[in-house]
Structure 1
Amino acid sequence: MPQVRSRETLWRTLQTFNITRIAIAVVLLAYLSINARQGFWLYEGFLYRETCAAYLMLALGFAITSAWHKRQLLLQLSAGIVADLMLITILYVAAGGARSGLAILYLFPLAGSAVLAPMMLALFFTALVALAMLLESAYQLLNFPSDSTISQAGLYGAAFFAAVYVLNRLAARLIRQEQLATEHRAGLQVQQAINQLVIADMGDGVLVAGRDTTIFTVNPAAERMLGLAGAEGAHRDRLDNVAWLAPIAEAYFSWRRNAAGAAPAFVVLKPAEGATVHLRLRFASIGTAGDANERVVVFLQNVSEIEDRAQELKLASMGRLTASIAHEVRNPLSAIGHAGSLLGEDATDPVQLRLVHIINENVGRLNRMIEDILRLSRKAQPGSAPLGLDAVLPEIVEEFRDMHALRPGLIHLGTLDAGQVLFDPLHLREVIVNLLSNAMRYASGRDASIRLFVVTDAAHRRELHVQDDGAAITPEVRAHLFEPFYTTSSKGTGLGLYLARELCMNNGAMLDYEYRSDAWNQTPAEASGRFVITLATPET
């Protein structure tokens, strides 16, 4: 392939050379016709117009031949240069030799031979020119000794040799550089084709964005994840201009602020059409930071699928243990709890009382774990009915306050949508109680440190947010938050959040932990974490 491209370049150069020959022939014919006068030619009556016209015809012939018959390049080049040298020599001699100034015309064919012909052939043509000029000067010196000198012809010859040598070396270097560039180009084209094939078929999403979040490239997997399939205009839009892609834009700007040690980000997308998607984002910059041409590659991984597969594996093993736990563990555990209670009645020593307390606390923890497992094993699809959140949520919050003896201002119930949602009342109560219990572990305890409120997203879906003013869950913990038996609390069983999500899914809703930007005693607003339940409505 490089040799073919080099040949094409040489033929293009030859065609340019032939076109230049035509231009020179036209200029010579016009100039010599306009400036002809008595005594201009060495021999009176010399047919200079006819000579220039013949040169023009030959130039046209060479140009047509090189355009239609791309064979034997060196032969066509040599024939053209020989014709140039012959006709220029005729004009040069007829015009009076070196004093006529036509010696400069030799530079055109010699330069062409230096660029297109091998070094030896180019120097051969140069030697012929130098010999012709020296012979003509010698003739003039013999016949007109007072008006002639041979030094001017010698200088022209030396200059021509130097020019031909330099041009030949430069041309050879350029041809080698072109061959190298062609080889690299071919390799890059193959690599680009491989990259496009791999990126198009890979399961993870790849998105390329500019510094202002303009979307440049999206592979098919990313189109499916982001809900951009079939949206041609969105490919040149910006992330922060597409409503449901705002979480990615927020994660992108957060990454830019903390690029030195930024960890992968987790976001939840709710496209206008399609299911909710939980994504793990990883950012990589290409180009100089701050440059207008800088690009950021965003790698997207659908974490929901990974979480579901992990939970299925855990549930498969847990299901096999459920029956044996109910019979083999629960009965002995009840006996241990009863024995601990009896010991507590007679114990008076503080050390004994502490040991009894430890027994009872751990028995209660194991009982809660068994209850959660049994509830998971016997959960059934509920008969969801329309439910008004503005009527149910205040009752659940008030009951939770009374159960835990909380002061009224600790839990703030924000704006509630008067519309109806599809959710089993008992299941909703269990989910809210679970989330409020989780929030109590991390909230500061100040007034309104726990909030519940309902918002409507860009796709007009109702969302119930449960948020506390404690530190947000880290992305590393978030990746395992809804896995069964995963807990960061010494008093937790690791099944509460998993059970809450399963109950939401049974009611056509989706529970997730999201990072949203809003004001929570912060100026300016920053991204904060909260549990978000995306609810199903009767109209959907």
Structure 2
Amino acid sequence: MSPLLWSRGEGATDWGGLELRPGLDGRSSALRRLLRGFMTARCFVAVVLVVLQALTWGMGSTAPMLPLVIATLYMVATVLGWRYGQFSPPFRGFGAAWLSTVAVDLAAFTVLQLLQQTNINYTPLFALPVLMAAVLGSVSVGLGTTAAATLLLLFDAGWHWFNTGGDSPTRFVQAALTGTGLFVVALLAHELALRLAREESIALHNRSTAHLHALVNDLVIEALSEGVLVIDARGRVHAANPAADEILGDGLAHLATPFPLEMRPAWHVLAALARETFALGRGLSQEVPVAQPQGSAREVRVRTRLTPAAAPGEGLCVMFLQDLRELEARIRTEKLAAMGRMSAAVAHEIRNPLAAITQASDLLAEDLQEPGQRRLTEMVQHNAQRLARIVDDVLDVARARQQRALPLAEQVALDSSVRSLAEEWVRQSRRQGVLLQLDAKGAVVPFDGEHLRRILVNLLDNAARYAGEREGAIQIATRVEDKGRAFLQVWSDGAPLEAAVRLHLFEPFFSSESRSSGLGLFICRELCERHGASIGYERRALAANGPEGNEFYICFARNSGALTQ
């Protein structure tokens, strides 16, 4: 925040018509610089007075030595005040700070003025304490110091009239005019000091606000899902957010800014677009392919905007990057989610006629003898069953959304349940080469048995769709970590999933196949969350030198109970 804050709040201290918050008023760098300047000026004036009095005393044998002593004492006082003074402006009263500086000046100059026996006039020196009090003190301190200086000048005129009786009216008039001028100088100096303090306060406040806005902007840019690059007219990148590193890659996050955008061949198209933006003086929008360190090029929508510039070549080009695959996937997911809400209502209406079709085809198959007609009936039954499964999936999504939590009263023994479900799935699918490695050690997990069957069957169906035919192409494993969390893993040796597919793997109605409803993994996630469990995916190898594969894992909620197998 600003070191010098002006306010009209309660508990503030007045200084020249303004109010300073307590505890902050003595920290103005401008006032402290002025204080150092006045302290230095006092030392300089003291040295000049000592030199002047020494020359006067040395050249005239009849000159008294007392003025030289006064000047020397004044020089010592100013040097000590400059070196060891611990007070801070502004002066709010006639306290220790005023007495050790302004009062010392007034006393020294008055004594020298009274002791003068030559044509030397010390009246101009009274401007120094008056200016110091007016600039560094409140209005009352400045005007009080000026009044004291005027009275001292009038006292000097009276003292001279009492001792000599010469041209005293002229000295009185001169003292009055000098005092009037000092009052004017004091008022003007005080107003200038107030203006300086105001400008400093505003500048510091604006700097603090600008710094705060910069921090907020950095935070917002860092959290943006769009990639952001800030480029100058010479093609150097001054800032980049994590989203830009994810889109462009190629070591962008590890480059020290600023760096030239053309340092990577894949970024030349972006550098060309930035140059075109500066040449045209307006923002552009374009879809460009950006080569990736691995895999095919990525289609990126690039939008550029120019910041206002005070002079040519000083503006910046802000480049926004958006992965089109991400955008298309998000739009597709939103559309399909909206369609899913509608299809949930339609599914209820489909079930009854679908059941009638299935029953009619079963009855018809009993009376048909010709192979061709029986094949047609089997096709009707197969597609009716497929349609029934899709309807069940749609209705399951609706039920999962309506019931987000279940009472965890039912518990299952993990190893025995997984073994029986896996053996049942192998018999029905006639799939060979499935390996079991059950190491949960009698762990009991809070989960519904039917829900566990649906999840495991769904994961095994997905694994069988992409896995090979060799022994161990599909592996099922259970384990318990040291912290008591039980895990179920389904691994297959299928090809790796694309990055875009992995990002939306558990979203509803998202599938890489046209014949799939895209609800299987989403329902698995919903069922896991309803039981306090979580489901995830990773690409890894089961052994150190083994092949990599796709693994779906379930982390069950903690359960203190256990069964002995």
TM-score (norm 1): 0.52
Unaligned 5+ runs, structure 2: 6-20, 344-464, 469-512, 515-565
| 1:76 counterpart residue number | 96
| 2:317 counterpart residue number | 296
Task: Decide whether the 8 Å contact of 2:227 with 2:244 is kept in 1.
Answer: yes
Q: Give the whole-Å Cα distance in 2 for the aligned partners of 1:312 and 1:104.
A: 85
- Aligned with 1:161 (options 169, 179, 183): 183
Task: Decide whether the 8 Å contact of 2:235 with 2:262 is kept in 1.
Answer: yes
| 1:287 counterpart residue number | 308
Q: Would you say 1:248 and 2:267 are equivalent positions?
A: no
- 1:92 is displaced (CA, Å) by 1.9
| 1:56 counterpart residue number | 75
Task: Decide whether the 8 Å contact of 1:14 with 1:77 is kept in 2.
Answer: no
Q: Give the whole-Å Cα distance in 1 for the aligned partners of 2:181 and 2:200.
A: 28
Q: Give the whole-Å Cα distance in 2 for the aligned partners of 1:274 and 1:130.
A: 89
- 1:105 is displaced (CA, Å) by 1.4
- 1:142 is displaced (CA, Å) by 4.8
Q: Give the whole-Å Cα distance in 1 for the aligned partners of 2:313 and 2:48.
A: 49
- 1:185 is displaced (CA, Å) by 2.7
Q: Give the whole-Å Cα distance in 1 for the aligned partners of 2:68 and 2:295.
A: 83
Counterpart of 2:57 in 1: which secondary structure?
Answer: coil
| 2:287 counterpart residue number | 266
- 1:81 is displaced (CA, Å) by 0.8
| 1:109 counterpart residue number | 129
Q: Would you say 1:140 and 2:160 are equivalent positions?
A: yes
- 1:53 is displaced (CA, Å) by 2.4
State the Cα RMSD in Å.
3.7
Counterpart of 1:100 in 2: which secondary structure?
Answer: coil
Distance 1:107 1:69, change over 3 A: closer
Q: How does 1:188-267 map to 2 (within 5 A)?
A: 188-227=210-249, 229=251, 233=255, 235-259=257-281, 263-267=284-288
Encode CA deviations 1:495-535: one digit per residue, 9 max, x unaligned.
xxx99xxxxxxxxxxxxxxxxxxxxxxxxxxxxxxxxxxxx
Counterpart of 1:266 in 2: which secondary structure?
Answer: strand
Q: Give the whole-Å Cα distance in 2 for the aligned partners of 1:121 and 1:230.
A: 62
Q: Give the whole-Å Cα distance in 1 for the aligned partners of 2:295 and 2:210.
A: 38
Q: Give the whole-Å Cα distance in 2 for the aligned partners of 1:163 and 1:292.
A: 47
Distance 1:285 1:161, change over 3 A: same
Q: How does 1:421-432 map to 2 (within 5 A)?
A: none
Identity of aligned residues (%): 24
Q: Give the whole-Å Cα distance in 2 for the aligned partners of 1:102 and 1:36.
A: 17
Task: Decide whether the 8 Å contact of 2:67 with 2:112 is kept in 1.
Answer: yes
Task: Decide whether the 8 Å contact of 1:11 with 1:73 is kept in 2.
Answer: no
Task: Decide whether the 8 Å contact of 2:235 with 2:260 is kept in 1.
Answer: yes
Q: How does 1:21-40 map to 2 (within 5 A)?
A: 21-37=42-58
| 1:307 counterpart residue number | 328
Distance 1:230 1:241, change over 3 A: closer
Q: How does 1:170-181 map to 2 (within 5 A)?
A: 170-181=192-203
Unaligned 5+ runs, structure 1: 321-379, 384-497, 500-540
Alignment-mate amino acid for residue 133 of structure 1: L
Counterpart of 1:298 in 2: which secondary structure?
Answer: strand
Alignment-mate amino acid for residue 190 of structure 1: L
- 1:232 is displaced (CA, Å) by 5.2
Task: Decide whether the 8 Å contact of 1:217 with 1:235 is kept in 2.
Answer: yes
Encode CA deviations 1:253-302: one digit per residue, 9 max, x unaligned.
33345555x55211221144676332222222112386232112112222
Q: Give the whole-Å Cα distance in 2 for the aligned partners of 1:21 and 1:290.
A: 45
- 1:122 is displaced (CA, Å) by 1.1
Alignment-mate amino acid for residue 281 of structure 1: V
Q: Give the whole-Å Cα distance in 2 for the aligned partners of 1:46 and 1:61.
A: 23
Encode CA deviations 1:63-83: one digit per residue, 9 max, x unaligned.
345338899875233112111
- 1:107 is displaced (CA, Å) by 1.2
Distance 1:146 1:57, change over 3 A: closer
- Aligned with 1:66 (options 74, 77, 85): 85
| 2:143 counterpart residue number | 123
Alignment-mate amino acid for residue 206 of structure 1: V
Task: Decide whether the 8 Å contact of 2:54 with 2:68 is kept in 1.
Answer: yes
- 1:145 is displaced (CA, Å) by 4.9
- Aligned with 2:208 (options 163, 186, 195): 186
Task: Decide whether the 8 Å contact of 2:90 with 2:138 is kept in 1.
Answer: no
Distance 1:215 1:18, change over 3 A: same
Distance 1:223 1:35, change over 3 A: farther
| 2:297 counterpart residue number | 276
- 1:89 is displaced (CA, Å) by 0.9
Distance 1:306 1:147, change over 3 A: same
- 1:241 is displaced (CA, Å) by 4.3
Task: Decide whether the 8 Å contact of 2:35 with 2:89 is kept in 1.
Answer: no
Task: Decide whether the 8 Å contact of 1:22 with 1:59 is kept in 2.
Answer: yes
Counterpart of 1:126 in 2: which secondary structure?
Answer: helix
Q: Give the whole-Å Cα distance in 2 for the aligned partners of 1:224 and 1:7.
A: 50
TM-score (norm 2): 0.50
Alignment-mate amino acid for residue 261 of structure 2: L
Q: Give the whole-Å Cα distance in 1 for the aligned partners of 2:127 and 2:89.
A: 25
Encode CA deviations 1:449-473: one digit per residue, 9 max, x unaligned.
xxxxxxxxxxxxxxxxxxxxxxxxx
Alignment-mate amino acid for residue 290 of structure 2: L
